Amino acid sequence: MKKTSTRLADGRELIYYDLRDDTVRDAADRRPLDRTVTTSEIRRDPLLGDSVAIASHRQGRTYHPPADECPLCPSEGDRLSEIPDSSYDVVVFENRFPSLAGDSGRCEVVCFTSDHHASFADLTEEQAALVLEAWTDRTSELSHLPSVQQVFCFENRGAEIGVTLQHPHGQIYAYPFTTPRTALMLRQLAAHKEATGGQNLFDAVLERELADERVVLEGDHWVAFVPYAAHWPYEVHLYPKRRVPDLLGLDEAARTEFPQVYLELLRRFDRIFGEGEPPTPYIAAWHQAPFGALEEFDGVVREDFALHLELFTIRRTSGKLKFLAGSESGMNVFINDVPPERAAERLREVASS
């Protein structure tokens, strides 16, 4: 992998990740852009104890542009985009309309491929491995920023999810706090450790799932399963079999196998609802241990946390979506219409030939 860092016309950082070591990236951003101005602010909810990002400048962000005006495609002739070069393998750049900025963290965009009409599932194993390298490198770099406590790599895919740019891409949020969902995991981790005399909750969950009927696919170094208490109609958790706290902890064997397992999982997701159905909308979310202090979670250290990816769709059946209505949005109590065992069975049925 070759990494080349440069700056866009408004001062934002852009990084090329290339498969070839002899690739030269010296194209300049020719757009007449003013310096980016953001108004991101973090406010803490005194009743729930969580944080909300207030970012009014995001109201003006790019919204469903036509394909020939996509800001994530390479620049070509007089059509100038966020990527100055005429081609790329993987690109990461600071979001022009970030939810988090400055002392409030940082937001980045990850473009998986220059092919506007592709998806992550269309990537080759070599391309997917390069995306994994980019995620890992950004996790490392962002973790050293003084304002950052947690790094979250994710992909939103599909208009139903709220995606406004159809080009295959994901995002990275670097939060200045430990996110509420991770804090819940850490509290459960601490309680289990105390109750069992030091045993690890993630290890116990993985052992249980490996022995159950909800395993979707398994390799030498990764396993994918529908969790016992899945919140979403089709939800799969992907774990490395050797517990590590973050992407930086993966060994070479796990990195090599990841593209094979993950691409197969994504391709199965696109076949859940049968032939002729539009691509399955999904969210793919990496869960990594915070880099900040963990004193509030008694007895827990970073190495207790287990890196994993959670992949889920809001489509519950053909032509129907799972909406977060009263119970889910008002009380955070999910109601799942698809039994996890049936979801796992379906995902095994649609395996590649």
* Enzyme catalytic residues: 169
Query: Half-sphere exposure of residue 160, counting CA atoms within 13 Å on the CB side?
Result: 17
Q: Rounded CA gap, 306 and 258, in Å?
A: 16
Q: Rounded CA gap, 310 and 109, in Å?
A: 19
Q: Taking the mean position of all CA atoms in its chain, how far away is CA 350?
A: 24
Q: Which of 90, 79, 67, 87 is nearest to 27 (CA)?
A: 87
Q: Rounded CA gap, 97 and 117, in Å?
A: 24
Q: DSSP states of 298-352 as a string? A: TT--GGGS--EEEEEESEEETTEE----IIIIIH-----SS-HHHHHHHHHHT--
Amino acid found at 316 = R
CB 329 within 8 A of CB 231: no
CB 130 within 8 A of CB 89: yes
